[in-house]
């Protein structure tokens, strides 16, 4: 019989909510900390603290009340982890995964160092750097903020001289200029390294974006078995090579048989929500088992699946939606249905991937 633990989570969004659901299923208590008094994580957590992330008194309470602490977003300030540790908080993932993934150049240099390929990139600090970078790299390129960008925000595609004139950015923060990769597919792989050293990978998902936001994940990804296997192996090598513990969602571009690392996040990943209904264990189960030091089981894909994100603009469609045996609807319970906000997802499970894609497209 496994012992019941209390798990602290920094952040109270949908990822925290699904971690709490998983924890509950395994007999654990959860305590989330989030500044938002209406955070959706509260719907599933055993208890919650409403506080700013730098509220020392409340962080101390979190450290005292929990057996282990994790995070559901990568922009947790590193000092918070130090403070929790100084106050006997147990944060087994530490701050390294945050430090690396909070900065696009830092994470790309780190993976290059262990032999993983990325698109060509350069650091950009002013307009002269940008002009020089484009001259060296050639069109088309993509300019991104090094930190804080998400869902395609803070990015500019530069395909010709004319686009350069439109780039209206205030330098003062760091940017990265990347060579555009004309990829065949975008895929991702979620890996977890438990604190006992076990590493497991989930099946590779093929990602389709709409307006820079993940729309669908198709599993198995429509790539060759060799590429899939290579990506799972590569992802395990990355998590071990970078000495990261906990979950890591890694995004890649595939061009022919070339694999380019794009970015990573040390938390559950939207593109692995399919695991909730199509695998023997979900990404949330394995995240918790990993940080609790349990032996990690082999992951099995039980059926094909297409995960479709439900956005704020889909509210009317959701009201008409009927839950079927093979399509599982997950609603996060966020209070405001806003355009481009992730409100839930549907996992369409079955045998024939092309039929599942048609079904998801008819949502
Ligand atoms: P990111 O925030 O880096 O994941 O970028 C958002 C999306 O922009 C990606 O999912 C790709 O579709 C596209 N993108 C980003 N970087 C590149 C690149 N170097 N080459 C081609 N497409 C890119």
Q: What is the pLDDT of residue 75?
A: 94
Q: What is the pLDDT of residue 165?
A: 78
Q: What is the pLDDT of residue 136?
A: 93
Report the interhelical angle of 78-86 vs 56-65 (nearest 10°): 60
Task: Please tell me what DSSP assigns to residue 202.
Answer: P
Distance between CA atoms of 37 and 362, rounded to whole angstroms? 36
pTM of this structure: 0.97
**264 φ, ψ (degrees, to nearest 5):** -145, 155
Binding residues for ATP: 104, 144, 149-155, 178-181, 186, 209, 262-263
Q: Strands, DSSP E only, in the chain?
A: 6-10, 29-34, 47-50, 68-71, 121-124, 141-145, 155-158, 175-179, 185-193, 199-201, 205-210, 213-219, 246-255, 258-265, 304-311, 327-331, 342-350
Q: Are 11 and 71 in contact (CB under 8 A)?
A: yes
Task: Say how far residue 126 (Cα) sits from the centre of its chain.
Answer: 30
Q: What is the pLDDT of residue 1?
A: 56
| Residue written as token pair 């925290």 | 16
* Ligand 1 touching residue 107 (CB < 6 A): no
pLDDT per residue rounded down to tens, the chain (363 residues): 578 999 999 999 999 999 999 999 999 999 999 999 999 999 999 999 999 999 999 999 999 999 999 999 999 999 999 999 999 999 999 999 999 999 999 999 999 999 999 999 999 998 889 999 999 999 999 999 999 877 677 888 999 888 887 777 778 889 999 999 999 999 999 999 999 999 999 999 999 999 889 999 999 999 999 999 999 999 999 999 999 999 999 999 999 999 999 999 999 999 999 999 999 999 999 999 999 999 999 999 999 999 999 999 999 999 888 777 789 999 999 999 999 999 999 999 999 999 999 999 999
Nearest CA to ligand 1 atom 6: 152
CA of 188 to the centre of ligand 1 (A): 13
* Ligand 1 touching residue 181 (CB < 6 A): yes
Nearest CA to ligand 1 atom 19: 180
End-to-end CA, the chain = 43
- And the tokens for 231? 């990506």
Q: Tell me the best of 262, 264, 271, 340 to mutate to test the pocket of ligand 1, counting ligand atoms within 8 Å of each CB and taking the most.
A: 262
Q: What is the pLDDT of residue 69?
A: 98
* Ligand 1 touching residue 262 (CB < 6 A): yes
Q: What is the pLDDT of residue 127?
A: 86
CA of 179 to the centre of ligand 1 (A): 10
């Amino acid at each position: 019989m496994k012992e019941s633990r209390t798990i602290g989570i920094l952040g109270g969004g949908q990822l925290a909510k699904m971690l709490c659901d998983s924890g509950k299923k395994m007999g654990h208590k959860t305590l989330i900390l989030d500044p938002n008094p209406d955070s959706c994580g509260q719907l599933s957590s055993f208890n919650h603290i409403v506080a700013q992330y730098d509220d020392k008194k409340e962080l101390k309470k979190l450290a005292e009340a929990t057996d282990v602490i994790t995070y559901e977003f990568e922009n947790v300030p590193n000092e918070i982890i130090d403070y929790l540790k100084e106050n006997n908080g147990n944060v087994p993932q530490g701050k390294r995964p945050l430090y690396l993934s909070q900065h696009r150049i830092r994470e790309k240099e780190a993976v290059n160092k262990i032999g993983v390929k990325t698109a060509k990139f350069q650091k950009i600090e002013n307009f002269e750097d940008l002009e020089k970078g484009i001259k060296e790299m050639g069109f088309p390129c993509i300019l991104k903020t090094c930190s804080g960008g998400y869902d395609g925000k803070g990015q500019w595609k530069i395909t010709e001289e004319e686009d350069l004139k439109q780039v209206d950015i205030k330098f003062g923060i760091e940017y990265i200029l990347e060579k555009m990769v004309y990829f065949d597919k975008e895929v991702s792989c979620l890996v977890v390294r438990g604190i006992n050293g076990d590493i497991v990978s989930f099946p590779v998902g093929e990602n389709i974006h709409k307006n820079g936001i993940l729309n669908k994940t198709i599993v198995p990804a429509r790539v060759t078995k060799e590429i899939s296997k290579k990506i799972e192996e590569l992802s395990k090598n990355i998590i071990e090579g970078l000495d990261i513990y906990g979950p890591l969602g890694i995004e890649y571009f595939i061009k022919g048989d070339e694999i380019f690392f794009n970015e990573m996040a040390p938390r559950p990943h939207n593109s692995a929500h399919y695991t909730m209904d199509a695998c023997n264990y979900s990404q949330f189960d394995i995240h918790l088992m990993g940080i609790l030091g349990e032996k990690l089981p082999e992951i099995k894909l039980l059926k094909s699946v297409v995960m479709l994100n439900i956005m704020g603009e889909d509210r009317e469609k959701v009201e008409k939606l009927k839950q079927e045996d093979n399509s599982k609807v997950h609603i996060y319970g966020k209070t405001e249905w806003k355009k481009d906000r992730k409100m839930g997802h549907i996992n369409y499970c079955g045998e024939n991937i092309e039929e599942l894609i048609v079904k998801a497209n008819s949502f």
